[in-house]
Chains A and B, each alone.
Chain A
């Protein structure tokens, strides 16, 4: 292989530029191929109030005194905050004390935080070309910036915090090309639910996904972040977008470090190339109990609901709240429905407030919560009772995900969620705007 330049995918190129001498293969070269186990230097290491406590314990077991670079560790209290019970408060305290002891500037507590995958891109903590590892499966969100970002467990994160490196298997890449214009109201969430429906929940297991095509070029950064966020729901290690002018405009205004803009080589080797006519994609809903159980909202049938959640690391950005507000403005949440709106960060909250969106939600009879992962994983702020049914802009609808094992979660984008809140049954905007 030595010296021969071959065409490479986005994932392979970013990994190749981060090689260390760990793993089965040496650092003496600048190319990697799918299947190789390699050591990789990391630019950012992330953990939250659920995963950091275990990572901190393992960090201590390593005998490490200091993190490898205190500017590159990001700790966010977002899952069970504001603390839902004494045990959660103890876990947050463990993380807070570690952040103080290590002098970590990028520790985010209540009042300054956001849901981690909304917060990190927004604050410029992750940038294009980074390798990011996070003790949270939705770390893959940053693929929208052209960063190789992937979720790992707490022990992996402990070692990365201490050493600044990790190991990984170079993934094969599936390239998905989206053609034509999106229909009205259809957004990134609908595209990714549709795609997961095609791939299945293990269709991209151990693989990278590259999202491409003219539909993607037309998609906002918020829409791309939503799509990258759910790459894990097809089993993928990472979901990558090639940085373009939109990416640069987004990242440059926020970045605290230099960015590196990678693009896949023409003729790169893909395990599979999928072509999707995005113009045919209708508003999507994924039925219980799997994200790949996706269908058009018009095919869902008559499904009464008890709760709607609009927010999360998937759809908690300002653009998502604008879509929801467009539907809810001047309308009322159905009397049988609790509608919970959760801005994804302090900044999103403030922007939504200044734009008048919060007023729209409250006047419609929704509640607006402080940023938290809360209900997405059945933690707090909207846990479901047995037999209850929710439409949610979150990312998982596994059995018991939002509460009781006999409750149900229907995944959708903000347009369907807000419309369903008004109607009291699952519907798209056409069911309420007339």
Chain B
């Protein structure tokens, strides 16, 4: 995947990713209309399918709202590259199938509007402006198996077959 970069700093919180006043709905397409509105009001109208978000440390800190990765994914963003992710956002992205990559090196040398290509399977990010490449940290096998299944729900169905109480 390759796309244009929306660049952000550290500690982008879920209140700016999707302000809470919009949490009275759950539909992805409605949430996408307000994605990143709290920090970049023009984001929903300007974002293009295939764009990427590149951010500093602790991306997605704050509330547990899964609406945040849902809104980003539905906005057309194909991947979030960050120096690090807040814990709950990390899980939510994996669970809902929003590709995320930790890569501080790429973050540091990427600017707003750069074009980046991300090869998730090959574990490499390329900045198409500078030509520089960056290896990404591999996912642990267990998390990789959730990603490969397409999220936590299909993974759980695959693992347990018929879902039921623990031990049933």
Contact = CB atoms under 8 A, between A and B. Distances in A.
B164 interface: yes
B20 interface: yes
A379 B26 contact: no
Interface string B137-151: 000111100000001
B104 interface: no
A151 B87 CA distance: 9
A429 interface: no
Contacts of A288: none
Given A153-B92, A154-B66, A162-B163, A24 B24 contact: no
For chain A, the bracket of interface size reads 35 or more
Interface in B121-145: 140-143
B156 A377 contact: no
A54 interface: yes
Interface string A148-172: 0001111110110011110100000
A14 to B, nearest CB: 17
A189 to B, nearest CB: 18
Nearest to A171: B87
Given A37-B140, A58-B153, A136 B166 contact: no
B156 A235 contact: no
A322 B88 CA distance: 34
A69 B38 CA distance: 39
A185 to B, nearest CB: 29
Nearest to A237: B87
B91 interface: yes
Interface string B50-74: 0000000110011111110110000
Given A51-B66, A66-B164, 6 more contacts: A24-B141, A153-B92, A155-B152, A201-B58, A202-B61, A235-B61
A235 B58 contact: yes
B64 A153 contact: yes
Given A51-B65, A153-B88, A167 B142 contact: yes
A7 B44 CA distance: 51
Interface stretch (A262-270, A294-302, A392-400): A392-400
A63 interface: yes
Given A51-B65, A155-B96, A398 B163 contact: no
B120 interface: no
A157 B86 CA distance: 18
A80 B95 contact: no
Contact of A159 (B19, B69, B86, B152): B152
Interface string A222-255: 0000000000000101000000000000000000
B20 A68 contact: no
A379 B21 contact: yes
Interface of B: 10-11, 13, 15-16, 19-21, 23-26, 38-39, 57-58, 61-67, 69-70, 84, 86-88, 91-92, 95-96, 140-143, 151-153, 156-157, 159-160, 162-166
A62 B157 contact: yes
Contacts of B92: 152-153, 155-156
A63 B20 contact: no
Interface stretch (A84-92, A100-108, A416-424): A84-92
A201 B86 CA distance: 10
Contact of A399 (B16, B63, B66, B156): B16
A20 B96 CA distance: 23
B139 to A, nearest CB: 11
Contacts of B157: 62-63
Interface in A3-58: 20, 22-24, 37, 41, 50-51, 53-54, 57-58
Interface in A195-233: 201-202, 205-206
Given A63-B163, A135-B64, A155-B92, A206 B153 contact: no
A141 interface: no
B74 to A, nearest CB: 13
A137 B70 CA distance: 17
Contacts of A405: 38
B15 A377 contact: yes
